[in-house]
Amino acid sequence: MAATDSSGRSSSPVKVGFNLNKTSDKWKRHIVLQLRHRDKTQKFMFQDVINSYIKLLDRSNQKAQFTQGFQKEALGLGDSRQPPRTISCDSKELMLARHQDIVTELRKTGGELAYQIVELNQKAKLKDTVLEEQHISLSELRRRLGEVEDEWRSLQSRMQVVEGGNQALKQAYDTLLQQHQEMDDKYRQEKIQGSELLEDLIRVKELAAENMNHKNERRARAKEASLRKELATAAKKAVNIDIGFEKAEPTDSGVQVGAFQGEERHERRQTRPFRSASVASPKIFDSIKELFDSKIKKRGHSVSSLSDDVFVPMAICVSARIPTKPLHVLEAHELGINAVKFSPTSKLLATGGTDCIIKLWDLIGGKLHSAGTLEGSNEGITSIEFDPTGTKVLAASYDKSALFWKLDDCAPKFTLTGHSRKVTSAKFKSSLRQAVTGSADRTVKIWDLQRAACVKTINVFSFCSDVVCSEYFIVSGHFDKKIRFWDSR
């Protein structure tokens, strides 16, 4: 900054410097560096003040130079080569007034400049305050940035841990998937082997059934032959018949008749396969009497009671024998038949099969005539039951349910669902408001037919094959060779 002496002349600027080469002046070097640093960091904030101050100094210097020149001219000092001259009083007063105006103008200008300096100082203080706030905000932002960086690092570490866990889970999943595939292949192989074993078992059962049927047929033929032989032996013996239905008197062959009667009693104790019509029946009494009035004496072929054997006419005796051929054969279903049931009047027959339907048949003249079908089951029928009125049908099915029909509608009225395996038997109770079902899931259930809901479940330890019931009691047959009696009360 330029300095002025007492005469108003501008002297050369004074330069202040420090010798920074000495090692003992480190604190001076530090102060200089701090000043330079402050000058660099704060110069832009006070640049307006500095510029205004420089302009003010320039104007002040100009005015000072102008005043000095004006004074020199007034005093005759402007030209040193001319000798000084005297100034009149008027010119002095005029110059004094002019100088007074100049001083007033300068003071006014100086006040304005001072006011500007004060304003600039206030602005500088405001900027310092803003700068401090910005420094505080910057430090807060730096602190938050550090916290965010720490959080980011923790999240990175957690992400690495989670990725490691996911990798381990993926490896475990791949291992389990491979094991599942192996077990699935093994299950399919075991299922194929199981089906083959089941086919073999069914084949063995069929062979065993054929052998059993063959044995039963041979046994039946042997019984029939023995019975015929016994009848032939009995036919050779004479029996006297009293026309007046009195007690038979012994004849010449009385001994033979007694022996014959004893043999007949013994035969009836051993085997009594059939019973023919007897004179004890009031419906045929008149026909027998007419036969005796005509004095026709025949030997009977009956093996009923002793008096019947003695007094049975040949015209009303019926020979009993095991049936060897069916009277009527009908292809009733497309698949196997699992259940056959007569209605209470024996005029209607119901058959249920694996084809999921129940067919109704009218029995006319010893032959079956189709009377309709009952549909609605999703799988094969296992059991059929008529109610005592013969107008309602209850059937069990392989689809884990029992179905209830009315004969006037081919669609089921409702379905009883609740078993977890096939239903093997379904029966009405005597009250007709409830039904009982047995299932392969080892339970026996009691149902309310008005609400179509299960009211009680009985857990058993064995496969239930069939059930019968009365008003209060239920009897169930099971795979474990036992029958069980239950009181529904």
Judge if 254 and 390 occupy the same domain.
no
Stretch 385-413: mean pLDDT = 89
Judge if 173 and 42 occupy the same domain.
yes
Q: What is the pLDDT of residues 353-393, one digit of tens each?
A: 888 989 999 888 778 888 888 988 889 999 999 988 888 99
> pLDDT higher for 258 or 40?
40
Which are the contacts of 386, defined by CB distance < 8 A and separation ≥ 6? 341, 342, 343, 344, 348, 350, 392, 393
Between CA 291 and CA 243 the distance in angstroms is 9
Given a cut of 60, whether residue 156 has pLDDT beyond it is yes
Residue 392 domain flag: yes
pLDDT at residue 314, rounded to an integer: 47
Between CA 406 and CA 370 the distance in angstroms is 17
Between CA 474 and CA 484 the distance in angstroms is 8
Judge if 304 and 354 occupy the same domain.
no
Categorize the per-residue pLDDT at 239 as very low, low, confident or very high, splitting at 50, 70 and 90.
low
Residue 8 domain flag: no
Residue 406 three-state SS: strand
**Which of 482, 393, 413, 479 is CA-nearest to residue 441?**
479
Instruction: Give yes or no for a contact between 392 and 360, defined as CB atoms under 8 angstroms apart.
Output: no
Q: Which range among 13-17, 77-81, 84-88, 263-267 shows the weakest confidence by mean pLDDT?
A: 13-17
Judge if 250 and 390 occupy the same domain.
no
Number of folded domains that form the chain: 3
Residue 22 domain flag: no
Q: Which range among 90-104, 164-178, 229-243, 439-453 shows the weakest confidence by mean pLDDT?
A: 229-243
Pairing of strands 381-386, 453-459: unpaired
pLDDT at residue 5, rounded to an integer: 43
> pLDDT higher for 278 or 473?
473
pLDDT at residue 22, rounded to an integer: 52
Mean pLDDT over all residues of the chain?
76
**Which of 230, 219, 256, 236 is CA-nearest to residue 319?**
230
pLDDT at residue 274, rounded to an integer: 38
Judge if 182 and 99 occupy the same domain.
yes
DSSP letter at 274? -
pLDDT at residue 38, rounded to an integer: 80
Instruction: Give yes or no for a contact between 353 and 380, defined as CB atoms under 8 angstroms apart.
Output: yes
Distance of CA 137 to the CA centre of its chain: 57
Q: Which range among 21-25, 58-62, 395-399 shows the weakest confidence by mean pLDDT?
A: 21-25
Categorize the per-residue pLDDT at 141 as very low, low, confident or very high, splitting at 50, 70 and 90.
very high
Instruction: Give yes or no for a contact between 382 and 437, defined as CB atoms under 8 angstroms apart.
Output: no
Judge if 341 and 283 occupy the same domain.
no
pLDDT at residue 174, rounded to an integer: 93
Give the domain-ending residue among 157, 182, 204.
Answer: 204
Stretch 94-109: mean pLDDT = 82
Judge if 171 and 290 occupy the same domain.
no
For residue 381, what are the β-bridge partners?
Answer: 397
Q: What is the pLDDT of residues 5-57, one digit of tens each?
A: 434 444 444 344 444 455 567 888 888 888 888 877 777 777 777 788 888 88
Between CA 449 and CA 426 the distance in angstroms is 12
- What does the chain come to in residues? 489
Given a cut of 60, whether residue 207 has pLDDT beyond it is yes
Residue 220 domain flag: no
Residue 369 domain flag: yes
Instruction: Give the H or E element holding residue 396.
Output: strand 392-397
CA dihedral 204, 205, 209, 210 (to 10 degrees): -30
Instruction: Give yes or no for a contact between 427 and 469, defined as CB atoms under 8 angstroms apart.
Output: yes
Judge if 277 and 353 occupy the same domain.
no
Stretch 469-479: mean pLDDT = 88
Judge if 171 and 141 occupy the same domain.
yes
Instruction: Give yes or no for a contact between 395 and 402, defined as CB atoms under 8 angstroms apart.
Output: yes
Residue range of the domain that includes 407: 337-487
Judge if 387 and 475 occupy the same domain.
yes
Distance of CA 396 to the CA centre of its chain: 28
- Put simply, whether the predicted model's pTM sits higher than 0.85 gets the answer no
Stretch 207-222: mean pLDDT = 86
Residue 23 domain flag: no
CATH number of the domain bearing residue 469: 2.130.10.10
DSSP letter at 249? P
Residue 26 domain flag: no
Q: Which two tokens stand for residue 56?
A: 């003010």
For residue 384, what are the β-bridge partners?
Answer: 395
> pLDDT higher for 345 or 153?
153
Residue 362 domain flag: yes
Percent of the chain with pLDDT over 90: 24
Given a cut of 60, whether residue 125 has pLDDT beyond it is yes
Judge if 309 and 341 occupy the same domain.
no
- CB-based burial, 81-96: b 16+ in 10 Å, e otherwise: eeeeeeeeeeeeeebe
pLDDT at residue 23, rounded to an integer: 59
Categorize the per-residue pLDDT at 248 as very low, low, confident or very high, splitting at 50, 70 and 90.
very low
Residue 443: φ, ψ to 5°: -135, 155
- CB-based burial, 311-350: b 16+ in 10 Å, e otherwise: bbbeebbeeeeeeeeeeeeeeebeeeebbebebeeeebbb
Categorize the per-residue pLDDT at 334 as very low, low, confident or very high, splitting at 50, 70 and 90.
confident
Write down the H helix ranges in 12-88: 26-42, 47-75
pLDDT at residue 358, rounded to an integer: 92
Judge if 269 and 186 occupy the same domain.
no
